[in-house]
């Protein structure tokens, strides 16, 4: 009888301890579940927030792009662009002006060379024949012609119009200064040569005023002897 009571007393404390442990486990399990629910809820909220962020960023980007399109140039950008365009066009205009002046000078020079060659051909047409003692090179049809028999040098000049496009009376005159000189070849006393030199002087208007240029043309002539024995 006594032993049975002792057994009951011993079992009751043991049962009470197990109940307390079960209660504690239940409380801990409930706290863990509650924490998991809170974490899950926070995760879902954060996921929803993240899913909404790209749309907001896209909208902001679109607004920024539209604003950039509507934004104009600043004053500094306009001034820099104008400076670049000014330098570019000034270089183009300078090159165009220089090319035009060079082309004009070339045209004048070619025209002056042409009348110089024409004067040379006129002298070539003269007769120089020792067999009949005739030398027309010493009496060319020139203005202010003079011939020095001692030095055998003749000088004169003529004027002519440059062969250039003209409009009205804007002609350009050039002057041919002609020099005829008898040359003595060293070691060849029986060989006679005359040199005809034509200096063509022509004007050209420039920014600094009218400048004079000279084209020189020269050639050598030998006698056209019909009687070969007259040379020796």
Burial of 10 (0-12, 13-18, 19+ CB in 10 A): exposed
Mean pLDDT of the 218-226 span: 83
d(CA 222, CA 128): 8
pLDDT in tens, 39-74: 666 665 555 554 444 554 545 455 555 555 666 778
> pLDDT band at residue 82, thresholds of 50, 70 and 90?
very high
Domain residues of the chain, as ranges? 96-225
**Closest-CA residue to 217 (of 122, 105, 103):** 122
Task: Count the neighbouring beta carbons within 10 Å of the beta carbon of residue 115.
Answer: 23
Please determine, for residue 8, whether its predicted confidence score (pLDDT) is greater than 60. no
pLDDT in tens, 137-186: 888 889 999 999 888 899 999 999 998 887 777 889 999 999 999 887 76
What is the model's pLDDT at position 192? 82
Q: What is the mean pLDDT of the chain?
A: 77
């Amino acid at each position: 009888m006594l032993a049975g009571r002792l057994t009951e007393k011993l079992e009751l404390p043991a049962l009470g301890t197990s109940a307390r442990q079960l209660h504690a486990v239940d409380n801990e399990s409930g706290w863990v579940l509650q924490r998991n629910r809170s974490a899950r809820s926070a995760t879902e909220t954060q996921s929803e927030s993240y899913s909404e962020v790209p749309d907001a960023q896209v909208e902001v980007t679109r607004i920024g792009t539209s604003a950039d399109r509507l934004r104009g140039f600043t004053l500094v950008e306009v001034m820099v662009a104008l400076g670049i365009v000014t330098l570019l066009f000034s270089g183009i205009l300078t090159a165009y002006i220089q090319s035009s002046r060079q082309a004009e000078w070339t045209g004048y020079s070619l025209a002056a060379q042409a009348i110089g060659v024409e004067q040379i051909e006129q002298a070539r047409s003269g007769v120089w024949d020792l067999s009949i003692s005739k030398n027309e090179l010493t009496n060319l049809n020139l203005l202010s012609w003079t011939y020095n028999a001692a030095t055998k040098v003749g000088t004169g000049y003529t004027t002519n119009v440059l062969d250039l496009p003209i409009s009205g009376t804007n002609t350009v005159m050039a002057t041919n200064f002609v020099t005829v000189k008898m040359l003595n070849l060293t070691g060849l006393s029986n060989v006679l040569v005359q040199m005809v030199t034509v200096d063509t002087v022509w004007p050209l208007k420039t920014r600094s005023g009218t400048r004079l240029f000279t084209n020189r043309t020269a050639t050598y002539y030998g006698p056209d002897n019909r009687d070969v024995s007259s040379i020796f």
